[in-house]
Structure 1
Amino acid sequence: MLEEVVATRYITPLREGGSLPGIVEADDLGTYVMKFTGAGQGRKTLVAEVICGQLGRRLGLRVPELVQMQLDPVIGLSEPDQEVQELLKASGGLNLGMDFLPGSIGFDPLAYQVGPAEAGRIVWFDAVIDNVDRSWRNPNLLVWHGDLWLIDHGATMIWHHNWPSAQNYGSKPYDASDHVLASFAPDVASAAAELAPLVTEELLTEVTADVPDVWLEEEAGFGTADELRRAYVEVLLERAAGVHTRIVLGPQTPTGPSRAPGWLSGRLTPAAQQPGRKQDGTR
């Protein structure tokens, strides 16, 4: 279960995200990026953050520590922004905190080199959770102390917005053509060989147990929070087992993967960065 802390001071909003997260201090003297139940995307964003964030951490990926965070809206009374005040008022109770990484900078693929092994692990992980929000337009990667950190997993597991269609997602392909790491020749096969055996029913059961019941209640088609947790486990278990065979990186060309922006052209050298691969993508 995630540690629970109490927000004691609202510092400033982070306007880069559509959900308007904020930097807050807590009673454990830590500083966190807080994501709110009252944001427009709703509680499912927080469910996705917990399941995917905790899964990533258990697989050895760098994801900031997550906590449950109790919020008394009164701490925002001095905030001059009316939009922020309304968000805090709508989010009283249990919210989500992510450890704040002071001094971190946004990932720039022109300034930071990523090896095929690390790129492969991240692309494979994003394929498992069906992450549509790690593109070159919005990487959701930070560089902190020289290492890559994964953040913002609210736009994942798209199936949980339409559970009747969830059974189709276990075998759904993952289009990584626009993935911010597609041009670093991600070694997806090695990542799958390393990580897929770790994604067991037991691990996923433990990860989904970290989601507070209050964020899982009253979901149409499910009688209890545990039934809903089981539904997440089933889809993720199936995806982890074989999604590496369905990851689409786009045809390899002298200028990079399909639909890559112009400023990434030349990142890939067809044969040099992918040993054993010919220019036409075959082996």
Structure 2
Amino acid sequence: MTHAIDLRTVNVTRYVTPLREGGSLPAIAEADDGFLYVLKFRGAGQGVKSLIAELIGGEIARALGLRVPELVFAHLDEAFGRTEGDEEIQDLLKASVGLNLGLHYLSGSVTFDPNAAEVDAMLASKIVWMDCLLTNVDRTARNTNMLWWNRELWLIDHGASLYFHHSWDNWEEQSLKPFVQVKDHVLLPYASQLKEADALLRPLLTEDRLRAITRLLPDSWLTTHGESPEAVREVYFRFLQNRLAHSDNFLNAALHARTALI
């Protein structure tokens, strides 16, 4: 079965407010569909690599049945930043003309606090497993990147995932490595069903599904490695496929880390 995934494209019409707790200066912005989005800018610190990780991470989470806000391509017009008074923000907007990434803004959501709420063991195990697959270093007690919204747990901000792409050349070696940073994962204490999660989730990420997710990456985001966009997409696909095929590597590391923790 071939999976087709489409992301909507919206045009940004209004810059509402910066979210200064994010290192890359994301913002809340309004689009021409009338909705508010948390906007991640291609002109920010990590550039398009952060957007690539955000897109792949978010859509893999969705494929695994986890809750993530809708992702959209957010087009920023050349004229958009000219009226912005803050010079830093104006520079960011100028550097971000073209396709950026937006996450539907969950109005009224609150940050997940591990001291105030427990998470179901299977849900925690699924999230820990996925973050090991994605090498997501950014789901710690200091910065959980999870929200409570409508009494459900939602995952946000996967931009620190797939850190292999900052060195790139040794992607095959990186795909086989355990994820040692799992020891700091905020949900590891609750994740008592990691083996069961592995058995449930692996079959969901078929070759077709991974192809469909990596196919979403726009050509304009794939120009930083001196290869064709198609060749760059292929590396992301093969990294994920390889990591999935050797999930025992990160699963066993997560089990050991949890045993040491508890």
Q: TM-score, structure 2 length as denominator?
A: 0.92
Give me the whole-angstrom Cα distance separating, in 2, the residues matched to 1:13 and 1:47. 21
Is contact 1:34–1:95 with CA below 8 Å preserved after alignment? yes
Give me the whole-angstrom Cα distance separating, in 1, the residues matched to 2:189 and 2:204. 27
Query: Which of structures 1 and 2 has the larger relative contact order (alpha carbons within 8 angstroms, sep 6+)?
Result: 2
Give me the whole-angstrom Cα distance separating, in 2, the residues matched to 1:249 and 1:29. 47
Post-superposition offset of 1:73: 4.8
Give me the whole-angstrom Cα distance separating, in 2, the residues matched to 1:251 and 1:144. 28
Name the aligned partner's letter for residue 254 of structure 2: I
Q: Does 1:141 align with 2:149?
A: no
Is contact 2:188–2:258 with CA below 8 Å preserved after alignment? no
Task: Give 2:229's aligned residue.
Answer: 225
Post-superposition offset of 1:218: 4.5
Point out the more displaced range, 4-13 or 88-97: 88-97
Residues 1:111 and 1:40: Cα distance change in structure 2 (over 3 Å): same
Residues 1:249 and 1:36: Cα distance change in structure 2 (over 3 Å): farther
Is contact 1:4–1:67 with CA below 8 Å preserved after alignment? yes
Give me the whole-angstrom Cα distance separating, in 2, the residues matched to 1:186 and 1:172. 22
Task: Give 1:267's aligned residue.
Answer: none
Is contact 1:123–1:186 with CA below 8 Å preserved after alignment? no
Task: Give 2:173's aligned residue.
Answer: 168
Q: Does 1:250 align with 2:252?
A: no
Task: Give 2:244's aligned residue.
Answer: 240
Partner of 2:14, secondary structure, is: strand
Q: Does 1:9 align with 2:14?
A: yes
Which residues in structure 2 correspond to 1:192-231 (within 5 Å)? 192-220=198-226, 222=227, 224-231=228-235
Q: TM-score, structure 1 length as denominator?
A: 0.85
CA displacement, residues 166-189 of structure 1 (integer Å, 9 cap, x when unaligned)? 111222111211101012144111
Post-superposition offset of 1:245: 2.8
Structure 1 residues without counterparts, runs of 5 or longer: 258-269, 271-283
CA displacement, residues 20-52 of structure 1 (integer Å, 9 cap, x when unaligned)? 001011011111011111101111110111111
Partner of 1:164, secondary structure, is: coil
Give identity over the alignment, percent: 47
Give me the whole-angstrom Cα distance separating, in 2, the residues matched to 1:185 and 1:140. 17
Is contact 1:38–1:91 with CA below 8 Å preserved after alignment? yes
Point out the more displaced range, 177-186 or 22-31: 177-186
| C-alpha RMSD over aligned residues | 1.5
Larger Rg: 1
Post-superposition offset of 1:163: 1.5
Task: Give 2:185's aligned residue.
Answer: 179
Post-superposition offset of 1:249: 5.1
Is contact 2:183–2:254 with CA below 8 Å preserved after alignment? no
Q: Does 1:116 align with 2:116?
A: no
Is contact 2:62–2:68 with CA below 8 Å preserved after alignment? yes
Residues 1:67 and 1:251: Cα distance change in structure 2 (over 3 Å): closer
Give me the whole-angstrom Cα distance separating, in 2, the residues matched to 1:77 and 1:11. 15
Structure 2 residues without counterparts, runs of 5 or longer: 1-5
